[in-house]
Structure 1
Amino acid sequence: MTTPHETCGTGGFSCGLDATLRIISGKWKPLVLFFLRDGPKRYGELKRLTQGVSNKVLIQQLKDLEADHVLVRTDYKEVPPRVDYALTPLGRSLADAIVPLCTWGTEHMAEMASIFAKRDTLP
């Protein structure tokens, strides 16, 4: 069994975490991956689920994730236009890896809210 340290340096990455962070960098990508775990979603549904993201940013993040082969965009060539997004097998494995982070966040949400509130009031 290899440790994360033993796999470092492959493909220009300093370690496996570096490779992962290059894929999910940005505020919205991990959320998109998490929400796609339940199955394909249309753009409007993703927009509603990722509250606060602008259209421009969400579109760019979706394009990035598609270019990184973690999601696939299906255009049904219909009128009105119908497009949906779904995880690839690589994307599914990445989305599954995000689940423990979600669990941690849920378990510590109140504590984090308190910490952020205090931090935001600092001069």
Structure 2
Amino acid sequence: MKLPADLQYTESHEWVRLEIDGTVTIGITDHAQEALGDIVYLELPTEGTKIAAGKSLAVIESVKAASDIYAPISGEVLEINEKLADEPGAVNADPYAAWLLKLKPSEQAELASLMSAEAYRQAIGG
């Protein structure tokens, strides 16, 4: 299982990358895509949507189940990965390259509550 050390993680299996400009890029972890199986559909929010940490941010559907993706931090959606509308299976191929969206954080301090790669590995028993 891939687990890049330069990312931060949530207990609900999202990854977060803090960008140089202060925005964050969000996706789901390798562990999550593996548990879901073949991903067939993603419902992402529209640009400009404001979201609170811990609230549903998107819906992901696989051949096994439909699941919510939760906002790791509060903020405003700046960009969505439109390629995933036509190719949701790209998340299975490489969940760290197939990011879901970019967010402008409203509370930078919330980043401190995210887990390191090692803490996430321990949380999932890896």
TM-score (normalizing by structure 2) = 0.28
- TM-score normalised to structure 1 length: 0.28
**Greater RCO (CA < 8 Å, at least 6 residues apart):** 2
User: Is the radius of gyration larger for structure 1 or structure 2?
Assistant: 1
